[in-house]
Each structure stands twice: as structure tokens, then as C-alpha cells.
Structure 1
Amino acid sequence: MQHHPVTVVTGGSRGIGAAVSARLAEDGHDVVIGYRSNAGAAEEAAAAVRAAGRRCVTVEVDTADETDVDRLFDAAAGLGPVTGLVNNAGVSGPVGTLADADAEGMRRALEVNVLGYLLCARRAVRDMKANGGGAIVNVSSAAATLGAPGEYVHYAAAKGAVDTMTVGLSKEVAGDGIRVNAVAPGVIWTEFHADPERPAKLAAGIPLGRSGQPSEIAAAVAWLLSDEASYATGTVLRVAGGR
């Protein structure tokens, strides 16, 4: 019996995560969508996966909670050996200057954006070692190098941590047949922004003259998970329109 790739996508119900889930289904992956609270959106994303002829399960999960993470991957194992993880679940936390940011909002953002990625990667590595290898793609951000001044310096700092984790973990697990890469999106048209018009307002400052589409990030993620990227590990692929 032929096994299809089984890939876990956290934050898979909306925006970049939903686009990634749909694209992976087109590429032959069975998909496990982790979502935080919007069951309706998760089911819509799952329907897109199934429309492409692939299997999909949705799991409500707080990625910063290791018990939830284990439940997510246990559910994924029901589809077969987990071969891929897309670490995508994230929150911006407070928007504004660091001087005005509340500590609890920053703490939650760091928990989801850093600890959540680490916990999901930890479990994925454990499973992939047992299953003969796999690939992890961390969704970072161009903010990691731009710093996001006046918007969310703490979020940029968290994404800097994601880039470092990508490099370190890639070296740690290369011998186990596991590749670890990241995609760093620029400004993308999603519901992530506190101001829905932010992608339009920032377009003039982007060399390509526009903000990006979720499908453009999904294509990069799909490539890094594919066999075509077999010699790529420890890389942060920037997809940011030139920023």
C-alpha cells in the first residue's frame, strides 16, 4: 500500500495556514489542521483539502501546551506516519511601540511564537526519527531582520528566535534524515493585520510594489517540504517582495 505524506499544519484554518493546507493537498499530502478556536474556518480549510482528494482531520490545539501538542500529533498518527510539520500558528500580540506594550500580551506572543514552535518541532522530531525521516518548515517573518519598529518589536524578536531555532535544529537532526527550513514572508494579504488595510498602505514601500498573496507563501512551503528540496536544510527562504 502506498503511503502519502502526512503533514501537520498548525494555524491551518486561515490565511497562510489555509493556503498551505490546500496547496499540500494538491501535491498529494494528507493534512492535519491544528486550529485555536475557529472550528468553522478549520472545516472550510479541511473541505479544500478533501476537494483535492486527500484526507484531512482538524484538531483544536493550543500549541504552547505540550499536552495539546501531543494530542495533535496523536491524531495525525491516525492518518499514517507523520512526515511533515508546518509550524505556522502565531499571534502578533500588542501592536504599537514597545514602551506601550503590555507584559501579558507579549508573554502570550512569545509562548505561541517561540515555545509553541519548539514544542511542535520536538514532537515532530521524535515521530520522524521513528518513521525514517521527514521535513519541518517554520513560518518566520521578514520582521525578524527588519525589526518591526513601531509595530511589534517583541514579535520580530520572536521570529528572530524562530530563525535561530531553524538553523540549530537543522544541524541537530540532519543525521536522522530530517530537514528543517523556514519561510520568511513579508506583508501578506491575510486577517493577521490589526488594520485590514495595512497590506495596501505598505505596498509603496515594497520593491515589487505590492503585498503578497497567501498562495505565494504556500508555494515556497510546499517546495521546502518536497523531494525537490532534498539538499536544502537550515535555510530561511525570504518571500517578501524585495524587503
Structure 2
Amino acid sequence: MAPVTVITGGSRGIGAATARRLARAGHHLALGYRRDHLAADAVLAELRAAGVHAVAVPADTRDPDQVAALFAAAADLGPVTGLVNNAGVTSPIGPFTELRPDDLREVVDVNLVGYVLCAQQAARLMTDGAAIVNVSSVAATLGSPGEYVHYAAVKAGTDALTVGLAKELAPRGIRVNGVAPGIIRTDIHALSGQPDRPERVAGRIPLGRPGEPDEVAAAIAWLLSPDASYTAGAVLRVGGGL
């Protein structure tokens, strides 16, 4: 039976790259996305062309009912065996003292509350052999001073969620791990007001360049695979040395 994997934030960036990679490995896929119907449809067409069953479901992961609907759509493809908790947002880069409460709440709600709600729904459905991967960030340990300290703090929360949930679900045979990307070429930088950030800060990355979504997708795919059968509670850093 083919694996069935839910990917939140699946219409672009790391989520879309992961979907493409998992499709090549034979996963059936349920993509959650927030609002970009055209992007979701384009990814969906690619997945189906690869010969797998796939659905795209508009789902705001902050809403438990929409999360439940996403997982119900996934269950129509078969028993859910994987979750990639990837939907995320930043807010405008700037000093901590200029952070607006509305931006703070959205970052917390999407990047942490949304992850909790999706992981909770997955844990209710999953059985032995299933796996969850939470997408964190190197910011969790670097702190992101002068840029988005609040985002870094939330990603540190993601890492704690990964460790705690791994220990709670491991006795049921469900593995939980995380990946911590560094500076990756995705449009999340445009959303933070600095679309050129990956190239601008490349000099401070030990490998000397930003990462690509496919490089993070490879790590996620490994953590979901049987090759990672004894890996639980790990946060795999994919940051070019950061």
C-alpha cells in the first residue's frame, strides 16, 4: 500500500519541492494551502503526472475545522502515514521594539498553533510506522537578532514540540522529527520585505550560498522513509553550516 502524506504549505517553496520528491517515491499526497489556488493547481498537475493520487485542500492551519477537513481529504486516499508540518509565515524584518502585536500573533498562530493542531490530528489517525516531520529553522538556535527574534522563539517552540511529541508517540511506533533549514531561496523572504535576502546574506553562510528547496526536501523525505526507522526526536540542520 502506498504511503499517504499530508503536506501543509504545499503550494510553494519547501512544501512544493517536498511534494514533488515524495511523488517520485510513490507517495499519495494531500496538499494544504492557504490561498494561492493557481499555484496549488500547478503543483497538483505535476504530482498527478507522476502517477500518484493527490488532492489540494485550501486550509488555514490555525482553524481546527479546516485542519480536520484537510486530514479527511487525505484519509480518502488511504490511511495517513505521514505529515510534513511546513506552513509558515514571517513578518517584516526589523528591530524587536518595532514588532507589531498583530504580526506577533500571526507568527505564533501559524508557526506553532497550526503545527500543534496538525500534529494532533495526525496523531489521532496514525498507526505504527507513520512519521511526522516539523519544519523548524536554524533561527531557533541563532535567535535572529535585529531581524525576527519572535520568529526564532516560535521555531524554538517547534523544536520542543518535536522532542516532546517524539517521546510521546514513539511507543505507538510513530516517529517525529524536525528539519531546521537555513537561508533557502523561497518567496518567504519577499513576504518579510526583503526578497533579495538570500543573496545579500550569502557571505555569512559557511558554504557560501543560500540553499535550495530541493535540498531541504531531500532531508524531509529521508526522515519520512524507512531508512530513518530508528530516528526519532531529531532536528536535522540543513543550513549550509549556520
Q: TM-score normalised by the shorter chain: which range applies?
A: over 0.9
Q: Structure 2 matches for 1:217-236, cutoff 5 A?
A: 217-236=216-235
Alignment length (residue pairs): 239
Q: Alpha-carbon deviation of 1:95?
A: 2.1
Would you say the 8 A contact 1:13–1:38 is kept in 2?
A: yes
Q: Which residue of 2 aligns with 1:152?
A: 148
The DSSP-based 3-state class of the residue aligned with 1:117 is helix
Give a deviation string over 1:200-238, Cα, whole Å, max 9, x none: 011111110000000000000000000000000000000
Runs of 4+ in 1 over 6 A off after TM superposition: none
Q: Partners of 1:199 and 1:51 in 2: how far apart? A: 31
Say if 2:161 is the partner of 1:165. Answer: yes
The DSSP-based 3-state class of the residue aligned with 1:190 is coil
Q: Partners of 1:201 and 1:60 in 2: how far apart? A: 33
Q: Partners of 1:181 and 1:48 in 2: how far apart? A: 27
Q: Partners of 1:157 and 1:24 in 2: how far apart? A: 30
TM-score by length of 1: 0.97
1:88 corresponds, among 86, 89, 95, to: 86
Q: Structure 2 matches for 1:86-165, cutoff 5 A?
A: 86-129=84-127, 132-165=128-161
Say if 2:204 is the partner of 1:205. Answer: yes
1:35 corresponds, among 33, 36, 41, to: 33
Q: Alpha-carbon deviation of 1:94?
A: 3.5
Give a deviation string over 1:166-216, Cα, whole Å, max 9, x none: 000000010111000000000000101031211001111111000000000
Q: Alpha-carbon deviation of 1:122?
A: 0.3
Say if 2:207 is the partner of 1:189. Answer: no
5+ residue gaps in structure 1? none
Task: Give the % identical residues.
Answer: 58
Q: Partners of 2:45 and 2:232 in 1: how far apart? A: 31
Q: Partners of 1:44 and 1:199 in 2: how far apart? A: 25
The DSSP-based 3-state class of the residue aligned with 2:5 is strand
5+ residue gaps in structure 2? none
Q: Partners of 1:196 and 1:31 in 2: how far apart? A: 29
Q: Which residue of 1 aligns with 2:61?
A: 63
Q: Partners of 1:94 and 1:200 in 2: how far apart? A: 18
Q: Partners of 2:92 and 2:112 in 1: how far apart? A: 16
Q: Partners of 1:123 and 1:56 in 2: how far apart? A: 19
Give a deviation string over 1:72-131, Cα, whole Å, max 9, x none: 0011111000000000000102321110010011101100100000000000000004xx
After superposition, the CA RMSD in angstroms is: 0.8
The AA in structure 2 aligned to 1:127 is L
Q: Alpha-carbon deviation of 1:61?
A: 0.5
Q: Alpha-carbon deviation of 1:15?
A: 0.5
